[in-house]
Amino acid sequence: MRLSRTVSIHTPMNISLNIFARILAALIVLFPAADAFAAGPGGDLPAASGSPAPSRLEKARGGERKLFDETYQFIFFATLEGLYRDGVSSADVDSLLATKGKEGGYLNFIYTCPICMPVEGAIVTYKLRPRIDHMKLPNYQTDERTFGFGLPKEVSDELQSEKASVRLKAVNELVSNWISYRMDHSGLTKNGKKKLIEELQKRRKEGMNALRSFAANMNGPNSMDAFAAGYEGGDECAVCNGALQMPLKLKER
């Protein structure tokens, strides 16, 4: 009696477990992407040796890391730091982000350029900065919600110039100061600085290639107006050159 009672109690559970195991196996076959939730690169646990190829989620995470890699973040934070340290005014921010009319592209940046884009992103972030609390500040710092006391008047005037050679020269010098300051104060080793410069040189080349493709209208008619509106007739990127402490050479126009 004791044996038969034991069998009658546990047999349905055994059957249920078998059914569950079969369902689970079927789901794994039908939905192989379920391994996307396994721990691996970017997760809390390392992937086991001999593990299968990276899942779609892992590949996406890798792409995200590549998109906002260390060099992108270095440029972004160097720019954001420089804006705060210099105390760039909201009016000068608007000059930096000026476009060719309502529908045109930026006057100071080249779209898709891997150096221009993090600089532009940092300026947009700074434009949205909150007010500074918990301390009494001089009027300028209170009004502008920043640390420094603003750019020299001549630099502000240059940023508003209708002459590209004047305006872009000011942009070039600002970016050069911001990037060089962070290089000197971020604790980079000599080898680390060398690798960063090499990476910036590669990205400058990509930015120049983008500018040339826009100038040749390879991305549709009026590519320059849409993607590099302030660079007509130019063959150098003010932001890219600035990142490498290179002066800008543009035709007077």
In the chain, what are the domain boundaries? 78-243
Q: How many CA atoms lie within 13 A of 56 on its CB side?
A: 4
Judge contact between 120 and 82, C-beta under 8 A: no
CA pair distance 52, 42, nearest whole angstrom: 16
CA pair distance 2, 181, nearest whole angstrom: 83
**What pLDDT digit, counting tens, does each position of 73-100 carry?**
999 999 999 999 999 999 999 999 999 9
Calculate what percentage of the chain has a pLDDT beyond 90: 62
Q: What is the mean pLDDT of residues 209-218?
A: 92
Judge contact between 237 and 110, C-beta under 8 A: yes
3-class state of residue 99 by DSSP:
strand
CA pair distance 134, 217, nearest whole angstrom: 52
Question: Across the chain, what does the average pLDDT equal?
Answer: 81
pLDDT at position 109: 97
CA pair distance 249, 75, nearest whole angstrom: 22
pLDDT > 70? residue 187: yes
CA pair distance 15, 156, nearest whole angstrom: 79
pLDDT > 90? residue 228: yes
pLDDT > 90? residue 63: no
DSSP sequence for 178-202: HHHHHHHHS---HHHHHHHHHHHHH
pLDDT > 60? residue 126: yes
Query: Which amino acid appears at position 9 of this protein?
Result: I
pLDDT at position 103: 82
Q: Is 67 exposed, middle or buried (0-12, 13-18, 19+ CB in 10 A)?
A: exposed
More confident of the two residues 65 and 193: 193
CA pair distance 214, 212, nearest whole angstrom: 5
CA pair distance 147, 81, nearest whole angstrom: 10
CA pair distance 161, 79, nearest whole angstrom: 22
> How many residues are listed for the chain in this entry?
253
pLDDT at position 16: 45
